[in-house]
Every structure is written in C-alpha cells, then in structure tokens.
Chain A
Amino acid sequence: MNRLLWIILILIGLVAPFFVYPVFMMKLLCFALFASAFNVLLGYSGLLSFGHAAFFGGASYITGHLVKVSGLTPELGVLGGTVFAALLGYIIGSLAIRRQGIYFAMVTLALAQIVYFIALKAPFTGGEDGLQGIPRGNLFGLIDLNQSYTVGGSPLPLNLYYFVFALFCLGFWIIHRTIHSPFGQVLKAIRENEPRAVSLGYKVERFKLIAFVISAALAGMAGSMKSLVFQLASLTDVSWHTSGEVVLMTLLGGVGTVLGPLVGAFTVVTLQSELSSVGSWITVIIGITFVICVLLFRRGFVGELGRLLKKSL
C-alpha cells in the first residue's frame, strides 16, 4: 500500500509538466523540499526554527553567484549552495541549540537577520535588486537546461524540470531515510522527552545539531533549485517572511507527517499564484491562514486525515 502510494506520487511528478504549468510545478517542488527539510526539525526534533530563510536564501545567492560569475555548471552550483547551507547550519545550529523552546525560535530568527543584513550589504549580492539573470547553463556541461520542447503547441522546459524533479526526489529520499533510521527514532525520543533521552545516555546536543545541519543543507538545496528555476536570488528569499512561510506550509500540511509539508507547500504556493491579483493582501491572507490553522487544526491537513484514518501518514 505504502509502496503503491510512492509509485503513484513519482508517476504524477513525472507527467505533471505536461498538464500543469511547469514553472508552477518547479516552484512547488522547491518549496515542498524546503518545507520537508524544515519538518525534520520541527516535526521530528521538536525544534521551531524561525530562521530557515537564511539557508534557503543564502544558498540561492551562493548558487547564483557560482553559476553566473564563476561560470560553474548548474549541478556544481547546487552542490556549492547546499554545502554552504550545511556550513551555515552548523554555525547557526551550534549557537541556537544552546537555548530551548521559545528562545530557540528567537535565536534562529535573530541569527537569520544577520544573514539578511549581509545579503543586503555585501558587494556580490546586488543589494536591493538581488542577483538577476542567473543562467541555467548546461548540466554536466552537456545538457542545456534552457532547452524547451514543444508539446501540444506550448514550449515545456523539460530538461530543467526533470533536473529539479531529480534533485527533489534525492532530497526527499534523504529526509525519508533520516526520519526512519535509528537516528530519526532518537530524534523523536528527544522531542517527546528530552531529559529521558539524556538519561538513556544519548548526546542530545549532538543529535539536535546533526538534525539541524541536515535540515539546513536540504533547505539550502531547495533554495539553490529555486535560483535556477527563477534565475533570481533576492532579499525576499532570506527575509523573515520566507521563514514564516515555511513554518506555515509545514503547519498547514501537518507537522511531523511525511506528506504534510508537500500538501502544505502545494496549498500555499497555489494560494499565492491564484491570489496574485490581490497584491499585498496576500500577506493578510497568509496571516489569517496561520491563525485559523493554529486555532482549529493544529495537526494540519495530513495530520487530521491520519487521525480520521487512524494511520500515520
């Protein structure tokens, strides 16, 4: 049953660009990976990071710079962004895990703000304009990611789409393996009862830090993908709004569920594109969604569904 579900999802992902606007699909994949990475922390370790935009946006700047200025191929650009996010995650993570609970959220928010200031002021980030016109380049120096194929009258950037889809599957697989490993079980134990995990002899700090680094690295990978898709790395990507958005996606879909972040990302990205005509009212709508979600269904869509079906999704 479970295997069948995965096969169906992969098939949907493979044929999606023929039915749905591919850029929308790619945006969705980027944010779905971002939210899934975030969920490793909030859902499986009980740590609420309010600064995940630093990894997402930071990596998108690094990838943009590597590809545009240093002329690296896109896969190396993504690798560079991901490694950068992992290192940044190590630094921010080792500081943030010194405080618990609500302070953890505030520390990550404040540290991410330093990254925001750097992105605003550093010479290579383009300040308010961001990095524009990031080339997509040739994958492994061979496959042109800009090439589109005309299917049924409309040009589809299939090379780029399948590259992004492959990266998403890789990232999601890593998350899946992490959560369902003995390591993931220890994370859950820490989430449920930290003192008990300590008394069982686990080095709680180290587990939290590793989870933080994994989460940051994959959030960074999502950001790198995003900078190739939109050919843009901007201040919005590193701002606290983005940090808040990823919290909302995870919460809305279902904290601590495997599929929740996908559903949440789908909901929020759809909301944003459907309601793009209302302009800045979108912030208000996101805010209202937050409030309703916290007040009425804290388990999120998938969590509530799982409760109805009495099954862990």
Chain B
Amino acid sequence: MGNFDIQKVRADFPILRREVNGKPLIYFDNGATTHKPKQVIDGIVDYYAQMNSNIHRGVHYLSQISTDAFEVTRRKVRAFINAKHEHEIIITKGTTESINIVASCYGRPFIGEDDEIIISAMEHHSNIVPWQMLCDEKGCKLRVIPMNDKGELDIDAYKALFSERTKIVSFTYVSNALGTINPVKEMIEIAHRHHVPVLIDAAQAIQHIAVDVQELDADFFAFSGHKMYGPTGVGVLYGKEELLNKMPPYQGGGDMIRDVTFEKTTYNDLPFKFEAGTPNIEAGICLTQAIDYIQDIGLDAIKAYEDDLLGYATEKLAVIEGIRFIGTAAHKSSVISFVVDGIHPYDIGVILDKQGIAVRTGHHCAQPIMSQYGIPGTVRVSLAMYNTKEEVDTLMVGLERAVAMLK
C-alpha cells in the first residue's frame, strides 16, 4: 500500500463530508457509480465558467479550447489503456452505448442467420440484451459460458462452445454482481485461436485494475466514466483500427460526416464516424481529471488498498448469523454480494439506509445470475478507494441491527 494516503483521498471527495438520515454518509454502492473528487467537480464548473462552446466546429477561440480539451481526453484514454492509436478511442455515453455500437455496427453487417455469439452467464443486462436484439433481427444465436457455484466461468466449457459459426465473443472483465475477475487474457487468446474477435465489458474493472488493451489483445473494450470517479454521461469504446474501419457509422448526424448532399453522404474518418451529434462535452473533457486523479495515486496502489479492504470486509461479514456470500471466486475485485437466511435483501437495504449506509439491493441488472443461485437478489457492498475499515466496522454494527430487527 506504500504511499496510499487514505485521509488525503477522502479529503478530495466533498460528498463524503455530508450526512444521510442524521449519520455520516457511508457509501458502499460504488459498483453503481463512484463519487467524484473535487478535481473533477472543479473541472466541470470551470468548463461552464470558462470554455462552454461546441466542439469540432467553430473557428472561434472558445470552440478551439473546448475542442482541444475534449481531444486531450482522447489522448489520456489512449495512454491510460495503452491503445495503439488515438483514433481507436470512441467517446460514447457510457458502457451500454459502447456495447450497443458493436452489436449494431459490427453485428449487423458481419453476423447473420444461424451464426453464434458467445457471452457468459455472469453478464450485466447491457451485455445480454443488445445481442438478443441482434439475434431477433438476424436469426443468430446466443451461446452462454456456464459458471460454477463460486461464480467462476467454466473455461473448458467455453472452449467447447466455439464452432465454425462463432462470430464474436463478449464478456465482462469483472462481474458487477459477484466481483469475479475473469481470466480475460486467456479467454481472448482462446477466441483468437478461432479467429473470433472479443469485446470486453470493463465497466467494473477500469477503476480497479490497470489495463493494457494491446497486451490483452482485446478487439473491443468498453467502460464508463462515472464508475471511475469521472462524470456521468461519458464512456469509451476502444476498438482495433481495422475492425472500426470495417464498420458503418452508428448514428447519422453532425460530426460524423464529410460531405452531405441529398444524393449521397460520405462519412468522416475514425473516431468521428461514431460520434454523431454534440456529445456530453463537459463530461468528455472532465474524464481527463478523473484519469489524472487515478493515475496520480496509481492503480497498483489503489488495487492493493482495495484488496486489503475486501479481505477485511469479507472476514468481518462472515460472522453474521445466516450470511451466505454469493460469488466466492478465487480472484475477486471490490464486490461483496450476500444474502442473509430468511431476510429479504430489500429489507436490509432499507434499514441500512436509515443508518446512513448506502448499499445496493436487488438483482443488479443481472437476473440470470440470481436465477442460477435461486435467489431474488442480494445485498451488494461494492468498495472504492475512499472506503475504510472503520466504515466496514460501522456496516457490521448496522447489519447486526438490521438482522436483529428483521429476523
């Protein structure tokens, strides 16, 4: 953990100083969204106070500086995930849109009737439904990698799913509901042996694990800004140049065109071909501050701190009577999902909230996982770099109180 200074980190997040229901806020819903450091908040204020202007269009000064700032983000993202080219970074609304772009612009032209798409049993709905929509339209089929009761994917079963008809593989790096870290590199390698491209949903990985898309050899890589301490409404789709070039644009509009006549429109080059219309400019620009913030601390230091906290919290919670952890993979990241015998997760969430503790309850947009475990949902504690052991201790007290009330 070296130079990781938790007090300094906490001081950077203004919201951590507020109270909820008369108690200091304890926020364990980081899998849904993380809070923002003052650097990001200041950046947003600064954008509107000093720069506000549409990008990629104007010759005037403000348009130029906001365009420059927006393009700084693209460069930052490229370096952050070590993509080969800046134009392989598409700025989107978020992970969901990133996946939809691939399902639509890669799926429609290159996946046809009776072709197969491989996803896993632990996907978020946003990595299931876009593919199902494609299947409905084209008559292709979903193949699902099974997982064991610990929440680990069955790699042998995965290997056996490939056929001549497999056209794409799409799975999550880290499960939002279980915390499982999947063996991404190995799984990409397996797909590439069959010459099948792979999309990685990194929404729950990007804020916890250092990423090198070239080393992973990922073909597509998607994540959101708001889960990595950045603004809401911005995300990234990384794609290999050769694949992105083969794909038609996603939406029609401004910015994605070169020439428009009523007879014919020619499209802009990468990355603009996938960025129709005015984007969420301030979010795009201020993703830079979020990346800077993470990089100043360092993902290795963040991961070491969070892993220690995960171990501490898991050990502590284990003594709660009737607790059952959902997701006990050997490799986990920052998520503890559980149920308590005889108590509905929703009830626990309400009683914790009354004590100022924010957790997520429900199916976490991953209903197939809940079906596999035969439960309506879980209570999910998801950690970020600003959480502390003291907060985990308070959670324990709150949880014991909830269990006593609800039993």
A and B: bona fide binding partners: no
